[in-house]
Amino acid sequence: MDPIANPYTPGAGSRPLELAGRDAELRQFEILVGRLRRGATEQSMVIKGLRGVGKTVLLNAFQDQAESQEFLTYYHELTPESSLAAAIARDAERALTRLSLSERMTGKVRDGLAHLRTISLTGPEGFGLAVDLSGADEGAVTSDLTDLFLAVGEAALSKERGVVFLIDEVQFADEVQFRAVVSALHRVTQKSLPVTLAAAGLPQIPRLSGEARSYAERLFTFPTIANLGEAEARAALLEPARQQDVEYEAAGAARALEWTAGYPFYIQQLGKHAWNLASHAPITAVNVEDAIPYAVEALDSSLYEVRVQRATPTERTYMRAMAELGDGPYRSGEVATKLRRPATAVSPTRQDLVNKGLIYATEDYGFIDFSVPRFDEFMRRYMSFEEPPGG
């Protein structure tokens, strides 16, 4: 059928026509924004999930909800190189500018920011900010971010607006900066100011300890989003086509649901190819079967190969050894055994893979897993495992 009319959305962060199975999170966020507008507080969310389950799409949906309530929103995707505090300071600067504050409020905000140590106003007027964290201790970063959030909150309140920071790939946040942001947010929340932050990332979000940890537990829930359940996966597959009066044959839908196993990225990719291959409605089991090799190829190039290319040969060998063990999670010690190396010798490689976001440490101590579903299958077809000599 017409590829121009294709209703599927395989692609990082591409909004699906049917955002299936995320009602609870959407509702929680709606309540959060509604309550902030009334000067009340509510828990926000740090969404955890593997690659391709729909974290970015969900943050984008939060963004739309917040904007529909006149909140200013700022979305950031962190990388291993980025600075969370600098990203937030930049957004705060944009928010303060966009609020078109009264002269009195402008003066008040500038006065509030004048004495900070790590964040400084760059000009004689306006809200240009420079961030310099070099040599700053955690206390200084925390108290400066607190004052910045308070200034943003009061400014937003004076305009009956609010501000939402959306932080994607939060697993890349520096632990110290993340703690500082959490503590600062705790303070604005105590003052019932309309500022909040929602985040998403791989299951291994930055570790929090001490006070920041208990603040975080009060400020956020940490829902895990995963593969869609049966009914939700069905909706994700069928609804986009149905909007154009295209149905699936029962056997075609069943095969597609079986193959995609509720994984959103697979549903979009297979749906797209089945649609393109079908000559007319309904989409048949044959269309779905024929689409599978195309979907595999597209997933390899869009999801898997880009990731494996980020790894060094040594890291690839490590991942291949994981895959040799079958389905995850994997005990790190067993991976080392597969490689015939002492655990301590391969642990730097394991850590590099964690830092690159290719694998993560599961909640069970000593276990790791791939951050992309079915990555083990991919590794097995991508390269062969060479039994190390000896043993």
Ligand X SMILES: Nc1ncnc2c1ncn2[C@@H]1O[C@H](COP(=O)(O)OP(=O)(O)OP(=O)(O)O)[C@@H](O)[C@H]1O
Nearest CB to Mg ion, comparing residues 32 and 166 = 166
CB of 28 to Mg ion, least distance (A): 19
To Mg ion, the closest distance from the beta carbon of 56 in angstroms equals 3
171 binds Mg ion (CB under 5 A): no
Binding mask 36-55 for Mg ion (x = CB under 5 A): -------------------x
Smaller CB separation from ligand X, 109 or 372:
372
The answer to the question of residue 57 lying near ligand X (CB under 6 A) is yes
Binding mask 187-216 for ligand X (x = CB under 6 A): ------------------------------
By CB under 6 A, tell whether 51 contacts ligand X: yes
When asked if residue 329 is in the footprint of ligand X (CB under 6 A), the reply is no
60 binds Mg ion (CB under 5 A): no
For 12, the token pair is 């990082």
> Measured between alpha carbons, how far is 367 from 360 in angstroms, rounded to an integer?
9
d(CA 161, CA 195): 9
Counting contacts by CB under 6 A, is residue 54 touching ligand X? yes
Q: In angstroms, what is the minimal distance from the CB of 329 to Mg ion?
A: 22
Residue number with the shortest CB distance to ligand X? 54
Nearer to Mg ion, 265 or 330 (CB): 265
Check residue 271 for interaction with ligand X (CB under 6 A): no
- Provide the token pair at 259: 């193959």
Query: Which of 44, 56, 146, 317 forms a contact with ligand X (CB under 6 A)?
Result: 56
CB 208: neighbour CB atoms within 10 A?
Answer: 17
- Residue 337: is it exposed, middle or buried by C-beta count within 10 angstroms (0-12/13-18/19+)? middle
CB of 251 to ligand X, least distance (A): 22
Cα torsion angle, 372, 377, 379, 382, sign: negative
Q: Does 49 interact with ligand X (rule: CB under 6 A)?
A: yes
Q: Identify which of residues 56 and 171 has a Cβ nearer to Mg ion in the complex.
A: 56
* Pair 142, 52: CB distance under 8 Å: no
Contact between 260 and ligand X per CB under 6 A: no
* Spatial separation of the C-alpha atoms in residues 246 and 365, rounded to whole Å: 48
Binding mask 3-32 vs ligand X (x if CB under 6 A, - otherwise)? ------xxxxxx-x-xxxxx----------
Minimum distance, C-beta of residue 353 to ligand X, in the bound complex (Å)? 15
Residues that bind ligand X (CB under 6 A): 9-14, 16, 18-22, 49, 51-57, 236, 264-265, 267-268
Binding positions for Mg ion, rule: CB under 5 A: 55-56
